[in-house]
Chain A
Amino acid sequence: MLTLLKLIQSIIKTLHSEGTPGQVAAGMAIGSVLGLTPLLNFHNLVIFSLVVLLNVSFGGAMLGWALFVPLGFLLDPVFHAVGLQLLQAPSLRPLWTAMTNTPLVPYTNFNNTVVLGSFVGWLVLAVPIFFAARYGVARYRATIGERVRRSRFYKAITASQAYNWYRMFRPN
């Protein structure tokens, strides 16, 4: 229940943040990798750092993460199949061999079928996610956004302590 509440909070805040629809969409596109790929991997630390350092919507990234976690679980068999195809492709073997024998790179677990497959899946989906999210956010703000902003529900959320923390990572 708390998770659901936080998700709603995140959605509301993100959709009404002062970031442009492009910044929210970029956040969602980058954040979606956290949901699509297995979380405890080195590349996700880099992604998280990028979310924090780049001027994209942090809330958007968290929203992207939350939204794409179930999709990640659902698509695991597909990711495994894609990863296996890539890792077993004879033409790519020199690349994988070189990466295996390069310091630190093996810690990304790129040689795991699900990790590689889901990462490649995210690379393919990132651009469509960005454009779809940008369109969606723009449409929302143009239609029902203002009414929600005036509602008591929105005011209750923005008045919470957590919101103050969130403001720190709000896009400029």
Chain B
Amino acid sequence: MAEAMGFYTDTTVCIGCKACEVACKEWNQLPSRNGGVNTLSGDSYDNTRRLDGIHWRHVKFIEQFTEDRKDGRWLLMSDVCKHCVNAPCLEVCPTGAIVRTEFDSVVIQSDACNGCRDCISACPFGVIEVNPASGTAQKCTLCYDRLQGGLEPACSKACPTQSIQFGAIKDLQGRAQKRVDQLQQMGEKRAYLYGADEKMLGGLNSFYLLVDKPEVYGLPPDPKMPTRNLKSATWFSAFGAILVGLMGIINFRNRGAREDAREEQP
């Protein structure tokens, strides 16, 4: 495997220009919603609304203002697939359509996907949805085709403020930590990294510098693997089957004793 590649997104320098969204759509030839007819969401300057099958980048606008709007701040964040090291979507995919590439990114092969949508419910970040044009689940590919050609992903290339930085995960982690230290020294004590180390799903290959709680950005504070429930759910189901089986055996086995037992029935 080549080196693990990914994104480090410094949300403090994002200006909400959406160049990443446009570059992504253009390179990946993603269709517009409603045939391009503009509809406003009413939610700040965000008319993309969410990541889905035709939006693989989404700039979030979070307004934190006082009631009289005299004081406050914007939180801006370009959201994307996290390319988790332990990827929940890849884990549950029954067709093998979701694979890990040589860049340690997670890619859905559209020609193998049959649109069962298990990955959608498995992704703790709500990244994946069906692209109506293909009928298959789609998301950011970390521009796998560009990476193979030695180019960087379209979004980071287009980002004018270097909020989205692409590179080897090791380099990015060092760079991000320096930036956190710098912000802390400057008095921004809330700055921290989200998903940069292996504690979160083995590490996010697209990690973030944030200045508020994860849920404020619409990110889960504690994302987990879907298979955490597999063993317990299976054992409980088997236990249920055993109970039903015992009830069936008791009831059908000895019909002669049934009349005597009638008084004891629940």
Do A and B come together as binding partners?
Answer: no
Interface, chain A (partner B; CB < 8 A): none
